[in-house]
């Protein structure tokens, strides 16, 4: 790998480790070994099958934290990949492999950015931290949320947190996330009466009688959003009924759905809205709920300004401030009072076969991260 940047070398090493969530596979050992050489104190905080670590250099305020995850989603069908997903490959200016964009490239850029910054500023003000988990892509119950809970118990106050999620859309830095909509999962269990398809009068088809309610569920305008957040949206993700027998009317229907909701709606208002729809159609049903995360928003402040200035300096481009997309671990960090911004590679290939990141933009990302540190900690 002669001639490659330190960021690219580290990214390749990380991609070469199959760390399918929640298995870290040794990625964190690779990261902590390098951080220890930079003067970081490392604390491993495992919970269940999840690997987490908290690393700090210094103990003064303000505290700047890089947050991210070493776990990746499964590779899917190997036949869809040009090269094996865990064999890092450089072709035509792009680094290919599972996790290249989400988010092992960002992790590599963070470490090398800090290495360069510390070399130039050994007596920087404040302190630097890393909060890294292997439980972001799956359940996200034993990862960042529990580390944050432990840090809160200790009285640790994060001032600024930069999350390395792939926020960019077309070119590096064209979009950063300053917040996210909330995520609320619902499960509806609708009862009917099983029977023979030739005798529908003797049965009660839960699919048929639910169609109008489901149509209303997906067509309803839950709110209009606001100047910062897009409107709340609902997507049905799964319908399940019956045993697979073509001549049997099913006795029940299970519907899984998800709200991505803006602050204009609340968990309670969404739950009540669903109940009103199901009640209005006379369904015999039960509902179960799971809140994945509440909405969060970082107001204009030092971190957003530093990120915008750094992107402009390195890429020459402007950046859009966005709250679109899915959830991230920023939802666990923001409630502590920290300013949270998500900045990472272009996200067009994440979770897809042949995931990739631009080699040049990966090096630029490390430069942006380092410039943010210079703005805030010198």
Residue 1 lies in a domain: no
Domain boundary among 260, 293, 326: 293
Q: How confident is the model at residue 130 (pLDDT cuts 50, 70, 90)?
A: very high
Q: Tens of pLDDT along 307-354?
A: 999 999 999 999 999 998 888 999 999 999 999 999 999 999 999 999
Q: Which residues contact 156 (CB under 8 A, 6 or more apart)?
A: 63
Active site residue 136: yes
**pTM, rounded to two decimals:** 0.90
Side-chain-facing half-sphere of 31: CA atoms under 13 Å: 39
Q: What is the CATH number of the domain that holds 98?
A: 3.40.630.10
Instruction: Please count the residues of the chain.
Output: 378
C-alpha to C-alpha distances, 249 to 195, 209, 357, 369, nearest whole angstrom: 5, 12, 49, 58
Determine the angle formed by the axes of helices 6-15 and 27-37, rounding to 10 degrees.
150
Could you give the angle at which helices 359-377 and 105-120 cross, rounded to 10 degrees?
40
Tally the domains of the chain. Answer: 2
Query: What is the structure's pLDDT at 325?
Result: 85
Q: Are residues 335 and 289 in the same domain?
A: no
Q: Containing domain of residue 215, as a range?
A: 182-293
- Give the pLDDT confidence of 240-280 residue by residue, as tens digits: 999 999 999 999 999 999 999 999 999 999 999 999 999 99
Residue 326, pLDDT score: 82
My answer on whether 41 and 171 are in the same domain is yes
pLDDT digits (tens, 9 = 90+) for 186-237: 999 999 999 999 999 999 999 999 999 999 999 999 999 999 999 999 999 9
Give residue 139's pLDDT band: very low, low, confident or very high (50, 70, 90): confident
Q: Of these residues, 136, 294, 367, 374, which one is catalytic? A: 136
Q: Out of 71, 165, 223, 355, which one is annotated catalytic?
A: 71
């Amino acid at each position: 790998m002669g001639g490659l940047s330190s960021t690219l070398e580290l990214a390749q090493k990380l991609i070469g480790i199959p760390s399918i969530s929640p298995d870290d596979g040794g990625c964190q050992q690779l990261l902590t070994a390098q951080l220890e050489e930079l003067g970081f104190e490392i604390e491993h905080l495992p919970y269940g099958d999840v690997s987490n670590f908290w690393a700090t250099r210094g103990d003064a305020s303000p505290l700047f934290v890089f947050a991210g995850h070493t776990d990746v989603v499964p590779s899917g069908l190997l036949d869809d990949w040009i090269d094996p997903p865990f064999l890092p490959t450089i072709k035509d200016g792009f680094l290919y492999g599972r996790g290249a964009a989400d988010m092992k490239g960002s992790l590599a850029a963070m470490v090398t950015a800090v290495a360069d910054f510390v070399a130039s500023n050994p007596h920087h003000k404040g302190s630097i931290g890393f909060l890294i988990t292997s439980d972001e892509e799956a359940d996200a119950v034993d990862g960042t949320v529990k580390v944050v809970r432990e840090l809160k118990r200790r009285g640790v106050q994060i001032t600024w947190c930069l999350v390395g999620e792939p926020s960019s859309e077309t070119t590096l830095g064209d979009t950063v996330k300053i917040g996210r909509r909330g995520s609320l999962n619902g499960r509806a269990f609708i009862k009917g009466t099983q029977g023979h398809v030739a005798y529908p009068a003797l049965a009660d088809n839960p699919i048929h009688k639910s169609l109008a309610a489901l149509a209303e569920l997906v067509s309803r305008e839950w709110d209009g959003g606001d100047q910062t957040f897009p409107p709340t949206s609902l997507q049905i993700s799964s319908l399940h009924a019956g045993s697979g027998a073509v001549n049997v009317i099913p006795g029940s229907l299970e519907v899984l759905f998800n709200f991505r909701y803006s602050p204009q709606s609340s968990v309670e208002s969404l739950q009540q809205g669903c109940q009103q729809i199901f009640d209005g159609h006379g369904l015999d049903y039960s509902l179960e709920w799971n809140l994945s995360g509440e909405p969060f928003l970082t107001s204009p402040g030092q971190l957003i300004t530093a990120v915008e200035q750094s992107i402009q300096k390195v890429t020459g481009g402007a950046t859009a401030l966005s709250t679109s997309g899915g959830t991230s671990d920023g939802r666990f960090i923001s409630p502590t009072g920290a300013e949270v911004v998500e900045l990472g590679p272009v996200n067009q290939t994440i979770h897809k076969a042949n995931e990739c990141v631009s080699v040049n933009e990966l090096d630029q990302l490390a430069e942006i991260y380092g410039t943010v540190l210079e703005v805030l900690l010198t």
